[in-house]
Amino acid sequence: MKQDKEKALFIAKKVFAELVFDIQSLEGMPFTMPEVQTYIQGITVGGHKITDEKKLKQQILGWRTLLQLVENNAFSITKKTACLLQKIIAKDEALEIGQFRTGQVSIAGTEYTPPHADKLDDIFQTTITALLQLEDIREQAYRLHLDVAYNQFFYDGNKRTGLLMLNGHLMSNGYPPLSIPAKRLTEYNQGMIRLYETGEHEEMTAFLKECHQEMYGRFEGQLQNTKTCDKMDEDMGQSLEDLETRIVFQERALEKLSEALVAQQCQLDEIQQSIRILAEKWRDMAANDQHEDGPQPPPPHY
């Protein structure tokens, strides 16, 4: 999987509706893919609660904010960025937004108890330091998502925030986005329960890697075609540059030839002027000779 930030953003924009659909599915929102596409176009769809529509709107805004951060080279795996994204996607959902939780939480379906609130800042810094030691940037991103969910830094929106942070890290480093397909949501949730209970990341890391490869595989051929087009554009650009160089060379040659023709014309003008002067002198000399060779007056008679 080659790194190319421009192409990573291209893929994210291409599948934007899918990314939004998948992230809203993480929280069990009731929208179908066509409905999400319609909402992204700015058209409302009937039959849904106003609260659900507002939540979907925030997921759209969250992804748009992330893409803007990546495009502007402003994304970073920091508490500030995580809080910014959580404030958007968990608006009107969480007890507190835009900051780490200040109380204890629990997770449905497991007896795992997340860390106490007063330890979250230290845990976050330790987590970031540890994951940055991993050599593979993709594994760093996968671990980032899992650790945000595992430690429950926020009252709500942890998995969604972690997924956005994961994708920000991937795309900022030139890797295409990752989405958890709605069809694999049960598999994802079951794996996360085992993560909470064991603290082992390997299973979910492998799962996220599969999802990532699946996303990239869908666009690999298109990216190759784009690469071929880029090469053709590059070759055409080089050909145009060569042609322009030749034209400039020919223009300079024509300028020199024109200068030579002007110089020759001046010399011809000078020669013609000299010929005219010589002709006039010759005519004058011929007239004088005739005058001297004409009949002489008879000598006087004595």
Say if 296 falls within a structural domain.
no
Predicted local distance difference test score (pLDDT) of residue 11: 93
Question: What is the distance, to the nearest Å, from the Cα of residue 107 to the centroid of all Cα atoms in its chain?
Answer: 38
Predicted local distance difference test score (pLDDT) of residue 225: 53
Say if 141 falls within a structural domain.
yes
Say if 38 falls within a structural domain.
yes
Predicted local distance difference test score (pLDDT) of residue 269: 79
Of 176, 163, 217, 222, which is closest to residue 22 (Cα–Cα)? 163
Q: Return all residues near 34 (Cβ < 8 A) that are at least 6 apart.
A: none
Gap between the Cα atoms of 184 and 288, Å rounded: 121
Predicted local distance difference test score (pLDDT) of residue 284: 76
Predicted local distance difference test score (pLDDT) of residue 259: 79
Say if 135 falls within a structural domain.
yes
Say if 21 falls within a structural domain.
yes
Predicted local distance difference test score (pLDDT) of residue 300: 61
State the total domains in the chain: 1
> What does DSSP assign to residue 63?
H
Say if 257 falls within a structural domain.
no
Say if 275 falls within a structural domain.
no
Which domain, by its residues, includes 212? 5-230
Q: Three-class SS of residue 1?
A: coil
| CA atoms lying within 13 Å on the CB side of residue 190 | 5
Give Dmax (Cα) for the chain: 169
Predicted local distance difference test score (pLDDT) of residue 228: 47
pLDDT along the chain (302 residues), means of 10: 88 94 90 94 89 94 97 97 97 92 94 96 97 96 97 96 97 95 94 96 96 86 52 62 72 78 81 82 74 59 54
Sign for the CA dihedral angle at 28, 31, 37, 41 comes to negative
Predicted local distance difference test score (pLDDT) of residue 221: 60
**CATH value at residue 209:** 1.10.3290.10
pTM over 0.85: no
CB contact at 8 A, 176 and 219: yes
Say if 242 falls within a structural domain.
no
Predicted local distance difference test score (pLDDT) of residue 285: 79
Q: The tokens 């997924």 sit on which residue?
A: 163
